[in-house]
Structure 1
Amino acid sequence: AGAGGAAEPPEFLFGEESPVWMRDFSAPCPHPKASAELDTVLARLGARRMVVGHTPQPRGINAHVTPGGGEVWRCDTGMSAGVISGPREVLEILPAAAAGEGQVRVLTAAGPIPGDVRRRRGPPAHPRPAPG
């Protein structure tokens, strides 16, 4: 038990590959392996998108779209003066309408920006070599 009798957090939360520290999806254009892994994770969760932070995005909130159509929204703008004094922005995800997929917008001081403006399509998945 930790301080005050609380249980110690699980070890998997602290490594570079942990959900808290892993940054594979935060690069401007993640490696194709990371894109494929993102599609796998989203499929297992039954989700269409993931939202991450902890890696400042100098150009503001943005999304990487995988070849499989999965999305990872990077929301750390580094707005603190102690980081990069990045833009003050908020990601808004509205629930899906009866026939829609929901609406994603980036809220800024100048007004809302449609999510499509901030989505970046990744390169196509690398084809696997034929068995030989």
Structure 2
Amino acid sequence: MADLALRTRLAALAAAGGFLAVALGIRVLGASSGVLDSSGALAQHSGTALYASMIYAGVFLLAPAARPWFAGAAAIAFCWLVELLQLTGVPAELSAHSLIARLVLGVRFDALDLAWYVVGVLPLAVLHAAVARRRRIEA
């Protein structure tokens, strides 16, 4: 059982790294006004969805035995919480001083991001649930 948890955590770490690489790649390749520019629609919306995908993978780092629907709900809830935190102005203040804070917490609230988080998580949870169901049937 410990072996399965370790494999799950390693897969989650690899997936999160892959999502991060794609998000940063889109920002770097599409940058028109500097490194990590996210002013364009593609960079903005894909970054939001990929951030949520990273959080979904991150759930499995913390809880490798989590069910796909639980992980999906937890990831979306976390993303929505971070987005709503932006209404306080705290993330904007932290982001003014730190690139990491800007990437993790964002800068300003955008209601559209609430939907993009679901777009980033739902396909992963559906695929994950289908694979898990198929493995149970085959076992």
TM-score by length of 1: 0.25
More helix by share: 2
More strand by share: 1
Which entry has the higher C-alpha Rg, 1 or 2? 1
Q: Which has the higher contact order (CA 8 A, sep 6+)?
A: 2
